[in-house]
Amino acid sequence: MGKTAVIQLHNAHIPDAQKSDDALIQSFQEGNTAVFRYLVERYQDRVRNLIYSIFNEADIVDDLAQEVFIKAYEALPRFRFESSFYTWLYRIAVNRSRDEMRRRKVKRFFSFQTVESTTNLKMENLMTTTFDDEQTREVIERELGKLPEKYRMPIVLKDIEGLSYDEIADVLECEVGTVKSRLSRGRTMLKDALTPLIA
């Protein structure tokens, strides 16, 4: 009995909801498209969080997330198991987000909470400035909005989503060295922009 047959036999005794991503994808590619809902349930929150981190706009999260999963459903028959499903799915989400940003031709901002994780600037330090809370948010969002997308996206994927350098390189389809360079540059740019706020 071959390895694939053994895997299929083993999976036959596991409820679909508990199967691995690869097992669900294999089942999907064999015609059992109903199992896709388990992949959606498994990753919908992560995709929604990613989209919200990029746009900081709750109203569009559900629509964009739905479009991401529709694209994933359509492309899944061609999935070749060369990367993990969730990095493949993130790539779809990032590309769809880029399309949306290009369509709008405006820059969107990270959530305010991202500032602490990205720059090590603490909320209490920011609040010692002469700005009130709303004014502080506006200043920080303005500076975040000046970051080019190629620097913003690695920060979202690393500091918010917690992906590894290899995973980010896979999602953004670039070299690991490029990810590290852009991440470092983006963090430095953001720190430099925000330093006057706590000087």
Tokens 């720059």, residue?
A: 119
Reference 53, options 11, 115, 138, 2; nearest CA is 115
In 162-179, which positions are buried (b, 16+ CB within 10 angstroms) versus exposed (e)?
Answer: ebebebbbbbbeeeeebb
pLDDT computed for residue 9 by the predictor: 41
What is the C-alpha to C-alpha distance for residues 125 and 119, in angstroms, rounded to an integer?
12
pLDDT computed for residue 15 by the predictor: 67
Residues of the chain with pLDDT under 50: 1-7, 9-10, 106-113, 116, 121-131, 198
pLDDT computed for residue 105 by the predictor: 58
For 19-30, what is each residue's pLDDT tens digit? 899 999 999 999
Sorted by where each begins, the domain ranges of the chain are 17-104, 114-198
Q: What is the dihedral of CA 124, 129, 130, 132, to 10 degrees?
A: -40
| CA dihedral for 175, 176, 179, 182, sign (positive or negative) | negative
Domain 114-198 has CATH 3.40.50.1220: no
pLDDT computed for residue 140 by the predictor: 61
What SS3 string covers 132-188? Answer: CHHHHHHHHHHHHHCCCHHHHHHHHHHHHCCCCHHHHHHHHCCCHHHHHHHHHHHHH
134 within 8 A of 180, measured Cβ to Cβ: no
Q: 54 in helix, strand or coil? A: helix
CATH of 17-104, one of 3.40.630.10, 1.10.1530.10, 3.40.50.850, 1.10.1740.10: 1.10.1740.10
Number of residues assigned to the chain: 199
For 50-87, what is each residue's pLDDT tens digit? 888 787 788 899 999 999 999 999 999 999 998 899 99
Tokens standing for residue 169 = 């390189």
pLDDT computed for residue 196 by the predictor: 73
Reference 81, options 25, 18, 5, 165; nearest CA is 25
